[in-house]
Amino acid sequence: MGDREAANNRCERLTRLEGLACEWGASRAATVATADIVVNDAFAELCRLPDCPVYGLSAGCPPHVGGPFEMRKLLTRYQRAIVLKIDVPTDILLSEERFSVYRVLHEIVAAVEQAAVEKGFSNARAFAGGSCKRIFCADHPDCSVLAGAPCRHPDRARPSMSGYGIDVSRLMNAAGWQMSWITRNTSAEEVPMGALVGMVLVG
């Protein structure tokens, strides 16, 4: 296969992965260059107590992930990532209902990762917003991985993007989208929609 043919083939596979992400529930999906992905140590710091009550409680969250240091290294080994988002009404993001949407987000990035592997991106790696402890294992006293056993949800749960210091606002900009900052003080009337974001490093 010549260079141009290989590039076209890769482009077609990436477009197909974007389409699958949307078929599986993403509102939008896009391919970005990893050179446009920004890592900021300060965002990973927000995963610490008291900002995040589940700090340290899962294998997918700090301090059990490689954090910004590992992500910067990873980004040098990949050229492209599929970024996807789920648009979510702000009042749901500010309620306990958000965890069911986070669950869908993790399931989509995990499925896109698997599809990417099947399409030849053998080193595909997925990440998603939110802690898998709260999303999948809230009813368990501990994370089974941290207790020395396999993950209870290896086909669904993926590491926290925040724990790696990914700048989600700039990631969304790289995908051509605008981010609305939602905090617990956000008025749903003034900012009616937000989004949950995930990404899959593909190759």
Q: Which residues bind ligand SF4 (CB under 6 A)?
A: 58-60, 132-133, 136-137, 143-145, 151-153, 157
Query: How near is the Cβ of 59 to ligand SF4 at its closest, in Å?
Result: 4
Write the CA distances from 28 to 176, 177, 187, 195, integer angstroms: 10, 9, 24, 10
Give me the torsion for CA of 86, 102, 197, 16, rounded to 10°.
Answer: -60
47 versus 143: smaller Cβ distance to ligand SF4: 143
- Rounded-to-integer distance, Cα 146 and Cα 18, Å: 33
Kindly report the three-state secondary structure assignment for every residue of 74-98. Answer: HHHHCCEEEEEEEEEEHHHHCCCCH
Q: For ligand SF4, give the closer residue by CB, 130 or 203.
A: 130
Q: How far is the CB of 56 from ligand SF4 (least distance, A)?
A: 11
Q: Which stretches of the chain are assigned E, i.e. beta strand? A: 28-33, 80-89, 125-128, 193-201
**Shortest CB 111 distance to ligand SF4, Å:** 16
Please report, as a single letter, which amino acid is at residue 160.
S
Minimum gap (Å) between residue 144 Cβ and ligand SF4: 4
CA dist 27 and 47 (Å) reads: 26
Considering beta carbons, is residue 18 or 107 the nearer one to ligand SF4?
A: 107
Which is nearer to ligand SF4, 35 or 138 (by Cβ)? Answer: 138
Tell the smallest beta-carbon distance from residue 147 to ligand SF4 (Å): 9
Residues 6+ away with beta carbon under 8 Å from 48: 55, 62
